[in-house]
A = this chain, B = another copy of it.
Amino acid sequence: MAKAPVLTPQADDFPRWYQDVLAKAELADNGPVRGTMVIRPYGYGLWERMVAEVDARIKDAGAENAYFPLFIPESYLTREAQHVEGFSPELAVVTHAGGKELDEPVVVRPTSETVIGEFMAKWVNSHRDLPLLLNQWANVVRWELRTRIFLRTSEFLWQEGHTAHATEADASAYAVQILSDVYRDFMVNVLAMPVLIGRKTRQERFAGATNTLACEAMMGDGKALQMGTSHELGQNFAKVFDIKYQSAEGVEETCWTTSWGVSTRMMGGLIMCHGDDKGLVVPPRLASNQVVVLVIKDEDGVGAAASALVDEIRSAGIRVKLDDRTDTSFGRRATAWELKGVPVRVEVGPRDLVNGEVTVVRRDTGEKRQVGIAGLAAHLPELLSHLQADMLAAATLRRDEHTVTVATIDEAREAAQTGFARIPWATLGEEGEALLARDAITVRCIQTADGDVPATEDEPGAIAVVARAY
Please report A residues at the B interface, Cβ cutoff 8 Å. Answer: 29, 31-33, 36-41, 44-45, 47-48, 64-73, 76, 88-99, 105-106, 108, 115, 118-119, 122, 128, 134, 138-139, 141, 143-145, 154-155, 157, 327
Inter-subunit contact B115/A41 (CB<8 Å)? no
Could you give 6 example pairs across A and B, Cβ below 8 Å? Answer: A32-B76, A38-B68, A41-B64, A91-B99, A92-B94, A93-B97
Residue picked from A38, A128, A143, most chain B C-beta under 10 Å: A38
Closest chain-B Cβ to A256's Cβ sits at a distance in Å of 20
Inter-subunit contact A66/B38 (CB<8 Å)? yes
Once the chains are docked, how many angstroms separate the CA of A98 from the CA of B106? Answer: 14
Once the chains are docked, how many angstroms separate the CA of A232 from the CA of B47? Answer: 30
Closest chain-B Cβ to A120's Cβ sits at a distance in Å of 11
Closest chain-B Cβ to A146's Cβ sits at a distance in Å of 12
Closest chain B residue, CB of each to CB of A122: B29
The 6 closest A-B pairs by CB, nearest first: A98-B143, A36-B69, A41-B64, A31-B69, A39-B67, A92-B97
Inter-subunit contact B32/A73 (CB<8 Å)? yes
CB contacts (< 8 Å) of A122 on chain B: these are 29
Number of identical monomers bound together in the oligomeric complex: 2
Inter-subunit contact A89/B98 (CB<8 Å)? yes
CB contacts (< 8 Å) of A119 on chain B: these are 29, 38
Inter-subunit contact B143/A69 (CB<8 Å)? no
Inter-subunit contact A108/B106 (CB<8 Å)? no
Once the chains are docked, how many angstroms separate the CA of A134 from the CA of B76? Answer: 37
Inter-subunit contact A31/B115 (CB<8 Å)? yes
Once the chains are docked, how many angstroms separate the CA of A275 from the CA of B88? Answer: 44
Closest chain B residue, CB of each to CB of A145: B98
Give the contacting residue for A71; candidates B48, B69, B155; CB below 8 A. B155
Inter-subunit contact A65/B44 (CB<8 Å)? yes
Closest chain-B Cβ to A439's Cβ sits at a distance in Å of 27
Closest chain-B Cβ to A55's Cβ sits at a distance in Å of 9
Inter-subunit contact B66/A41 (CB<8 Å)? yes
Further 14 A-B residue pairs, CB within 8 A, beyond A70-B155, A98-B145: A31-B71, A32-B69, A33-B72, A38-B119, A41-B64, A41-B134, A70-B139, A89-B99, A91-B99, A92-B94, A93-B97, A94-B108, A97-B154, A98-B144
